[in-house]
Amino acid sequence: MTDPSVQRVSTRFRRKILAAKAKGFQPTLGKTQRVLAQLKGWFRQFPSTLRRAKAENEGAPRGWVWQAPFIGYFKRFDIYRSQLRDLDYTMEGLAVGPDPSAPLAGEARKVTKGPPRKGRVSYAIGKIDFAFDPTAGEEGLVYQVARLEEWASAFSSWVTKSEALLDRLEREAR
């Protein structure tokens, strides 16, 4: 007799494959390209956000910026991260299916899984400290500028490589 928990996993996995097949590789690839284009547009705002943070840096230690300018900026990434997760779920179902596009879907998951460690928002804001903010009259969070710049470089590289990969996969899927 099969363990009920194994049956549930098996049923869920079959549903994932069927849902993915219904969506198809090319439409899912197109959605992935659109999300990546939106991410690229979001990322274009980073240099101005960093400049603003540096300009509003009164009282922060040298090489650090106040957290405030980045709160709204990084919060918007959650929308794209959620969309990438949904697309990854579909691509995973396509990658394990019998469809001829399965290997392409497997490769597309390099994009839908999101950026590598140094390109993740958690990496960008992973080096924090507290400093007294004279304008607020209390302690505030500061981010290390070098870490933010390192993140920006890694994220930009991921976007560029992802665009090239998705373009290649689109050509191969035709």
**Predicted structure pTM score:** 0.85
Q: Is residue 44 part of a domain?
A: yes
Q: Is residue 163 part of a domain?
A: yes
Q: Is residue 7 part of a domain?
A: no
Q: Is residue 68 part of a domain?
A: yes
Total count of domains within the chain? 1
Closest to 42 in 3D by CA, of 78, 76, 88, 69: 76
Q: Is residue 3 part of a domain?
A: no
| 111 pLDDT tier (thresholds 50, 70, 90) | very high
Handedness of CA 48, 50, 54, 60 (dihedral sign): positive
pLDDT digits (tens, 9 = 90+) for 67-78: 999 999 999 999
**Domain span at 59:** 12-173
Q: Is residue 4 part of a domain?
A: no
